[in-house]
Structure 1
């Protein structure tokens, strides 16, 4: 028998930035639980709108097999009487574990004879476990924040007002968030906020749309919005430039989308376009319209209601946009009464971070770091030095105070207005890049140098305060800053010593740092390298193998090693190398009590095969040293495989163990040297299954 399960959690309005993550978490949890309970089904679909989270599972097989394991009880010596029947001890065991007497047998093993119940398979109605599955899935939803309501001990992203739960045409007996399941939900909050009753789970979501004016299918709603936008753009002969994140946010704000056209006064187009776009998109969730590839004074409004007076909705939204643009225009005029450099005085009174001084002091540290990095990379950074002085000056401007997202952007705008060099202006904006882990890097070298300087100063400063990121908490965005540092160095081919850069940053704080603190920051940054390469589909064990063999080198060398190992493990030579490594590893592991490895003494060699292995290893190590200087890591990996024939002959003709302890230890030391040679680039232990 197969049935359809429907679950809908009806809530107060869920934050639009979190809706999709919440429903996907619930969806994945449900799939995981169904798999764990060995429940078969045809497909599963999720639904989400501002006030509801829905899951519909099609064609659930309503019976599942349960495999019972054998239960071992007491020894037959104490549980069986002379008539070979259960005595009071045996009967107590039967009662305690609810044992089926018909399935009892005597288990024989090396330790004796035991009373046991035979393992068997049984069939269970899936309906019995569905409440547990649903509860588990809901309890493990990943939420960034929660709230309580009605003096309740239960919490969720928003107060829950109804639970719709049906299995075909029956209400599922379940209680969630202190609410018993029903066969109804509520329609659109503004257009039809009445109960919508379902006769069958298959009626969802069509009935909710037809009677309740709710388009609960996220993807259908998104497609509907896109189609409406296209029609409006055809009327305006315009175009849009919208990213999927914004479109998802807009989709998460409405249950019944209606697209309207608004406009603002053309005079506001003199405001930097980044500010206009920020006001429209971030603050109002409107969509700017471009005409002839230029930003126009039109914008699209995605309303959440069908109204007989759309003009009132348009007018209301236009008033808000006008007010924001008026403020922006006013702040621009106020800021431009003074030059950007004049704000340095204000930075002296502005705290960067408690116990880390002011933004002015940070500016001076960035200035010195830019000079240091420029010298290390042998590039001209005179415009970068100027950018370092100005890069934080816009933080105390009126515009950034009102619109924090404009930091850097407005600094560039003011710098250009004041006839600063374009490279200086560009670096001011881009020194915050990458804003997200995988967003754009600075486009110029001095922008990259300024970005590195700012990020390393922040990370080192926070490390002085012992403010390190935790597993699921990173309030100071240290992980993102670290990823930015690594990406700039690797993608821009900056041959810079990260350890020396960290030391320089500590020095500029006038802080008496220790070697442990240097390594703490270094490891903190380097750990993000896994995040970078896993996005490029390079196995974690490849990255780990190289990082374990890391010898405080230039970061670019790590990149070359990772790429070389990534390619090498796909060749037949890698398997040959691993066979050699495993054999040596096993011998050394079995003889850990003899692991006091010393310098190899050739006078203790008893066979030509020991001499051959020693000389071959010496020759290969010299080649490796030469190739290391050339940074030719690919050929290093292939050179090491030349040990194959010699090591195989050694194993075939030489017995490692010897009554003479010195000879025995000398042979182990020889193998240890070979093992070390095999792992000069990549710790092969990472590839042991």
Structure 2
């Protein structure tokens, strides 16, 4: 089948830099979905994205869709024809239903004999006729939260669109459809109110004029000649190389975060790295404040040497200047007042102790209906202290950390640089002479901030982090503000996973139910729902399940533990890890199947009413005697292990029951005619089941 290369470029005003990469990927994905739906084959798909353009190039795009093949099977010949060979009503009905005559009907033979058959070749979509619709549809599906209008048109997009380039082979889309007159072009359609053509534009300053693209293969080279690097990934790689090189020239190492690199890549069509400097006096300010100012406000990369910030920055200019020093000087002038602000906030905030800011929290609403941030801080203090008492931690340190933990939110530094919450508190606490653990807790309360993030290093920080998250979960669940679908405005999924990680990885042996009860017992500005505990517990167990799936632990492993109704996170994890290890043993599947059989037998014969007391005198067969003996022996070994929470060793021990269990079921009829013998055997199975159920319900594996 004939193919052509396809290119579409949307020329716009500057697109939102933080959304550019996502928009470009989505644009290509939507186009591919459209082509797949139309059964139009294609080769490599390339994505291009720059500040003023979104583009997709598709190689070897078929000129026509496959259309598919449809096969119709009719009645067998003994039904389709009478004794004289004439078509019956069944045959005529088959032909009529397919809109054909009997002359067009074929025959095919299968295992049952000869039958009527009709093969329909699909016509397929003419690709050129559908491309405008494909692009228009794809643009309409892009993840754009807010669209805008411009001029007098009612057309909407994320930014005003000024041109559209669209080539199918060496023809623009109208030429490809032989649309010559304006009427024919209008019938074929527009995209965002514009007629696609063969022209694009270069760099806004270096090459602002129109550029004619004769074939998709010319796209990158012609734009590069016009000072535009169309490939997002190519620009990103170049920026990284340039910034790294500039950092080395300064005698340090440039710090390149992925998020800043992507944003800077989205801001520049023709990146040129330039290094500047600032007054060393600013280095007295906490480095995080300086970095935040450079990164968030100016999009600069900072430079480190031996773990210390250098008084330099690296910026990316979107122009190849004839006088780079002038560009550098301009950036140095811009950054100076920013850093001066940070220094002013630092000096001003330290004039008053961190503790003195607490009263201001009374005027900061935490969540409507749940009181102020001061109220939340008091609840954190009570809950964290309760947990500290339970595990033998330093209650005084915890209470002090809780009292200070949110105070930096009303500081000048955090008001200006919101990403410094916690860090600012740590520096101010250290300046005030607070204990090291208290100062550390100012930062650690927000850990873990994301999946895989580090946990607090101090016990004080751990308990503040735990109490803070539990308070948020209980308060928001208690007022019905639960996550729904993809919406989780209060990041409760992350908070719940944080609680579970803290409990498990910090070895905090407290039941979730108790923790929720303690949080509920606090003073709340509004009455919380009666089902808060049940709903939140269930939700957190669901998060536990998701956690284990991410760890590639089969769902059945967690469900085997969840079936017991255990709600102690640390205990759950020990059981899950034990069952996961047990599942790799050779005996695991056989014992899981046996336990399922035991569960079914017990369920049909009284279940919970079966008394787990075996009468040795009623044991008749060698196999049941052997099983009873082994169950008793294993019980003596396993019970101390269970008391110490060593579930892995207990399951390894129980794996040794496989042979006697198999022999029992192969040779012993549980439901005996003698009622006493039957009940005794049920009691034996109840004992066997009880050994495993003390750890997990392995029958669900």
Partner residue in 1 for 2:540 = 525
Shift of 1:302: 0.7
Counterparts in 2 of 1:165-564, with a 5 A limit? 165-171=166-172, 181-210=196-225, 212-290=226-304, 293-509=307-523, 516-535=531-550, 537-541=551-555, 544-549=558-563, 551-564=565-578
Output the CA distance in 2 between the equivalents of 1:119 and 1:653.
59
- Residue aligning to 1:19: 20
Q: Secondary structure at the match of 1:572?
A: coil
Cα deviation for residue 284 of structure 1 reads 1.4
Task: Give the drift of 1:30.
Answer: 6.2
Cα separation, 1, equivalents of 2:28 and 2:343: 46
Query: Deviation at 1:477?
Result: 1.2
SS in 2 for 1:338: coil
The 8 Å contact of residues 3 and 60 in structure 1, kept in 2 or not, is answered as yes
Task: Decide which moves more: 552-561 or 114-123.
Answer: 114-123
Counterpart of 1:45? 46
Q: CA deviation at 1:669?
A: 8.6
CA contact (8 A) 1:546 1:561 kept: no
Q: Could you say if the C-alpha distance between residues 403 and 595 of structure 1 is closer, same or farther in structure 2, counting changes exceeding 3 Å? A: same
SS of residue paired to 1:205: helix
User: Please, which moves more after superposition, 82-91 or 251-260?
Assistant: 82-91
Displacement of 1:411 in angstroms is 1.3
Aligned equivalents of 2:155 and 2:78: distance in 1? Answer: 52
Deviation at 1:421, TM superposition (A): 2.0
**3-state SS of 1:435 partner:** coil
Which residue of structure 2 aligns with residue 94 of structure 1? 98
User: Who is 1:143 aligned against?
Assistant: 143
2:521 is paired with a residue whose SS is helix
Q: Which runs of 5+ in 1 are unaligned?
A: none
- State the secondary structure of the residue aligned to 1:204: helix
Aligned partners of 1:99 and 1:117 also within 8 Å: no
Counterpart in the other structure of 2:57: 56
- How has the CA–CA distance of structure 1 residues 596 and 444 changed in structure 2, closer, same or farther, with 3 Å as cutoff? closer
Structure 1 residue 226: Cα displacement? 2.3
1:448-482 Cα deviation digits (max 9, x unpaired)? 11111112112211112211112211111111222
CA separation of 1:546 and 1:274: change in aligned 2, threshold 3 A: farther
Taking a change above 3 Å as real, the CA distance of residues 426 and 316 of structure 1, as seen in their structure-2 partners, is: same
- SS of corresponding position for 2:534: helix
Q: In 1, distance between residues paired with 2:305 and 2:595? A: 65
Helix, strand or coil for the counterpart of 1:324? helix
State the shift of 1:240 in Å: 1.8
Q: Which runs of 5+ in 2 are unaligned?
A: 178-187
Check the 8 A contact 1:493/1:556 in 2, yes or no: yes
Cα RMSD (Å) = 4.4
| TM-score using structure 2 length | 0.82
Q: Is 2:653 aligned against 1:652?
A: no
**Secondary structure at the residue paired with 2:267?**
coil
- My pick for the range that moved more, 474-483 or 591-600, is 591-600
The CA distance in 2 between the partners of 1:40 and 1:645, in whole Å, is: 58
User: Do 1:549 and 1:680's aligned partners in 2 also have CA atoms closer than 8 Å?
Assistant: no
1:84 pairs, out of 82, 88, 107, with: 88
Distance 1:415 1:63, change over 3 A: same
3-state SS of the aligned residue for 2:254? coil
Aligned to 2:181: none
Q: Matched residue pairs, number?
A: 678
Change (3 A) 1:658 1:282: same
**Superposition deviation, residue 8 in structure 1:** 3.6
Deviations 1:634-655 (CA, angstroms, capped at 9, x unpaired): 2333333333333333333345
Matched, 1:599 2:603: no
Q: In structure 1, what is the Cα distance between the partners aligned to 2:510 and 2:376?
A: 22
